Amino acid sequence: MSSRIIPVQPFDYVVFGATGDLTKRKLIPALYYRFMDGQFDETSRIIGVSRSKLSNVDFQNAARDSITQFVEKEYQDNEVITRFVKIFSYIVNDVSNPAGWGDLKKALRDDPKVIRAFYLAVAPDLFEPIAEQLSKTKVYRRDARVVIEKPLGHDLASSMEINDGVAKIFKEDQVYRIDHYLGKETVQNLLALRFANTMFEPIWNSAHIDHVQLTVAESVGAGTRGYYDESGALRDMIQNHMLQLLCLVAMEPPASDDADALRDEKLKVLRSLKPITNGDVAKYTVRGQYKGVSSETTSVASYQDELPEDKKGSRTETFVALKAEVENWRWAGVPFYFRTGKRMATRVSEICIQFKPIPHSIFDHAEGAPKANKLIIRLQPDEGVKLLMMIKDPGPGGMRLREVPLNLSFAKTFTERTPEAYERLLLDVIRGSQTLFMRRDELEAAWKWVDPIREAWERSSDAPQSYVAGSWGPSGSHALIERDGRTWHEDED
């Protein structure tokens, strides 16, 4: 079984910040895979813009190096790579200097059939100046698209300021706020699981679901990345990625798969979140920071040890656990537990739907009590869906109940390569499909819910709880869920 490749219209993709890490690690490899699969060809072009003084050949060689380093070896075809890098060109331009914009205007094709897209892989404070120059130099078109990367602010006010700057030139239907989590295959399969199967939607509510767990754990540390200390786990993961996952789990069925129909329902979820404010913050949230570990076999630095001298003593959280509630008819009384952190026991992103126990067991004399069903949606690694259910253990000698998984592994079921998130999202921009991108009102609703938590932490004299690198987080995260008579899913494995 092979996936159907649908070609896109020819395009001019302008990448600001073309020499940056995001372009090298994610954008160029993603575009190469799509080119290799025939989703676009030499009628499209990729135009890099940056301050570094490079020639077209230099940029093409950099693209080739990116493919060599970040594309799987089995997909590195020299003939395809040579054809691909020929569509690359480069313009030296300091975005704050009006002098370089004429070269960009000359490089773009004045053809309405050629899609014009701008990817702003730069700091958010450059979004508005770039948008203004695109307009002043008549590079902007009403049918053009602009892609903006997070972080989109550090709170609601700064987020609104950034979006206001972009909105001076680009209309909302032209703006693509990228969240790579929404491009993951399993995230989209959550929609298919819910709305393309009759067995789940009738029981997808508080009558049958006990609680939901959302975990995004990373085994790596924050390292020396300066931006992380300015954001922390709450802003970096909860405010965007994890709240978007919550929306897909909790939203009502949209009227169609139209982008705005879907995003309208996600917005309703965000606006239904019970606020966590003042005294509730200490009760329903936990923040942590990893400490180092040293033994004969391993040595891992603490977060504090990784920081530069001027950052020592930082209270930035590398771990967050919290309990949320969606106050509507479908989810009344169902808690949603979030957990995310650096230097965790393993790298895993998953959603665990814990169903309620059966109302009455007829197996009083059976060996092994019935366990409530669980649906586990694994986003990474080893993408798949697993349903834990009870069966009779085979063999004579009475009734012995046993929990077994019905396991759908994407890698084993689908033989073709699963596209990375950026592959899908980059060409969704060209297709004009905003389904997997955040609308502005969604972003602002998420900030409105997160800001009171962040502000309460800043006012508090309590430091983040410490946890050992390689563990599942601080003890407070276990207490958060265990005082409700529940446990984190990994604790049971």
What are residue 170's phi and psi, to 5 degrees?
A: -95, 135
Please check whether residue 354 is in contact with residue 211, taking contact to mean a CB–CB distance below 8 angstroms. Answer: yes
The CA–CA distances, whole Å, from 149 to 49, 91, 125 equal: 16, 21, 12
Please check whether residue 421 is in contact with residue 241, taking contact to mean a CB–CB distance below 8 angstroms. Answer: no
Q: Nearest CA to 246 among 270, 271, 281?
A: 270
What count of Cα atoms within 13 Å lies in the side-chain half-sphere of residue 355? 19
* Residues paired with 377 in a beta bridge: 351, 385
> What does the alpha-carbon distance between residue 28 and residue 67 come to, in Å, rounded to a whole number?
7
Q: What is the DSSP letter of 221?
A: -
> What does the alpha-carbon distance between residue 318 and residue 301 come to, in Å, rounded to a whole number?
13
> What does the alpha-carbon distance between residue 10 and residue 13 come to, in Å, rounded to a whole number?
10
Of the residues 154, 208, 211, 241, which is catalytic?
Answer: 241
Please check whether residue 271 is in contact with residue 323, taking contact to mean a CB–CB distance below 8 angstroms. Answer: no
The CA–CA distances, whole Å, from 256 to 32, 185, 205, 357 equal: 32, 19, 20, 33
Q: Nearest CA to 293 among 467, 134, 425, 54?
A: 467
Q: Is 241 a catalytic residue?
A: yes
Active site residues: 241
